[in-house]
């Protein structure tokens, strides 16, 4: 059998990901406290993908307690060995029976896999935390950012034998609402305009590899390899590759609109978005314009954000230092800066902010693990 090592510090599975995608080196080896008889049994679905690998990284970083862990993937990956926290595991083919005895399943294998196997897992008493878009707009499935709306899943616990589905929001939504929600709580957002600058990581490990390859090719004067996207990505930017709908918005933009309304439990909030792919490896950036019902000056907003859980403020006007994707890569916190009054709106009822967050981490894996922690 092929053997893969996923022990710290690297949790990368296939070949190699671009350098900027690799987790930072950790400090001295420490005794792991996560393998515990009183912990839940967990399964990672799509363990060979970029987010699946990040699941393992975050589980390890946060010492998430578990008594057993299953590594699940497609038939072509079954039988390979993977090392996690100094223990060897054999990757198993995903089947409905994979969830027998599993308390929590972390899914990141695409919507079609979630639709097929999510309900099968729930029927076996498993609580599924799903990273796809399959169930996000289902009114019976909570869509959760733990810092924003933990109450949406208050009646769900692992290990009770009662299965449930919980949806992880889209990465752009998570990164945006981590910053916008604390301000929304104070002054109530009436309208939000979001422009996103989205990294290759949002399209998976293969897109990250293609961006690195294209960069070398273009610098060497060669035509770029365009397999993941149908146009040059290196030294370029273009409209997000999601399908364009009849209203002119693409699916990524509509996710931001619909998911914000569901998470905030406010169907009246006006949201519009423009989503762009930029040649950045693994962290998204977003320009967010907010219109409020009540006055909120920029100094108060800055203080609110400085005290918000999971948010760090980088807002140094004197040195022109604000959030960048590189600064937040492999970081848990979402960074916010460029906090300023919107001069096009009267009074203090409008603000502009700039937000950066690691798409694979807080935008996907970390958010899911935080949900799982709330299930314990």
Return the active site residues: 171, 284
**Pairing, β 311-313 against β 238-239:** unpaired
Provide the 10 A C-beta neighbour count for residue 366: 25
- Do the Cβ atoms of 168 and 135 come closer than 8 Å? no
Phi, psi of 262 (to 5 degrees): -70, -45
What's the gap between Cα 102 and its chain centre? 23
Question: What tokens were used for 175?
Answer: 């990164």
Give the residues across from 350 on adjacent strands: 291
CA-nearest of 22, 354, 11 to 209 is 22
State the Cα–Cα distance between residues 30 and 32, nearest whole angstrom: 6
CA angle, residues 328, 331, 335, in degrees to nearest 5: 45
* DSSP one-letter code for 316: B
Q: Residue 364, Cβ neighbours under 10 Å: how many?
A: 26
E strands of 51-137, at which residues? 68-73, 81-84, 87-90, 92-93, 104-107, 127-130
CB-CB contact of 238 with 277 (8 Å)? yes
373, 66 contact by CB (below 8 A): no
- Determine the Cα–Cα distance for residues 141 and 156; give it in Å rounded to an integer: 11
**Residue 35 in contact with residue 42, Cβ under 8 Å?**
no
SS3 for 214? helix
Q: CA 140 to CA 143: how far, in whole Å?
A: 10
């Amino acid at each position: 059998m092929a053997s893969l090592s996923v022990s710290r510090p690297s949790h990368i599975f296939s070949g190699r990901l671009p350098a900027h995608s690799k987790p930072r080196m950790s400090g001295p080896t420490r005794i792991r406290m996560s393998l515990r008889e009183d912990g839940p049994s967990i399964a990672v679905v799509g363990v060979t993908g970029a987010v699946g690998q990040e699941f393992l990284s975050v589980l390890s970083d946060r010492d998430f307690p578990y008594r057993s862990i299953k590594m699940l993937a497609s038939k072509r990956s079954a039988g390979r060995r993977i090392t996690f926290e100094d223990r060897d595991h054999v990757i198993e083919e995903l089947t409905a029976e994979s969830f027998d005895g599993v308390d929590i399943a972390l899914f990141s294998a695409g919507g079609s896999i979630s639709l097929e196997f999510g309900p099968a897992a729930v029927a076996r008493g498993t609580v599924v935390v799903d990273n796809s878009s399959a169930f996000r707009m289902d009114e019976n499935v909570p869509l959760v950012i733990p810092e924003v709306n933990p109450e949406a899943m208050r009646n769900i616990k692992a290990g009770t034998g009662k299965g449930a589905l919980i949806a992880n929001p889209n990465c752009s939504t998570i990164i945006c609402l981590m910053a916008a929600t604390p301000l929304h709580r104070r002054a109530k957002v009436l309208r939000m305009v979001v422009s996103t600058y989205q990294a290759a990581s949002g399209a998976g490990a293969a897109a990250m590899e293609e961006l690195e390859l294209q960069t070398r090719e273009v610098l060497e004067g060669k035509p770029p390899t365009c397999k993941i996207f149908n146009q040059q990505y290196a030294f370029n930017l273009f409209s997000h590759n999601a399908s364009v709908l009849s209203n002119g918005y693409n699916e990524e933009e509509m996710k931001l609109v619909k998911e914000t309304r569901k998470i905030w439990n406010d169907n009246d909030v006006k949201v519009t978005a423009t989503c762009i792919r930029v040649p950045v490896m693994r962290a998204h950036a977003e320009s967010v314009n907010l219109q409020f019902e009540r006055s909120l000056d920029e100094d108060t907003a800055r203080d609110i954000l400085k005290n918000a859980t999971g948010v760090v403020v980088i807002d140094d006007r004197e040195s022109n230092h604000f959030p960048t994707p590189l600064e937040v890569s492999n970081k848990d916190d979402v960074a916010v800066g460029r906090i300023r009054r919107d001069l096009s709106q009267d009074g203090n009822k409008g603000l502009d902010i700039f937000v950066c967050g690691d798409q694979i981490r807080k935008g996907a894996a970390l958010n899911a693990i935080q949900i799982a922690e709330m299930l314990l």
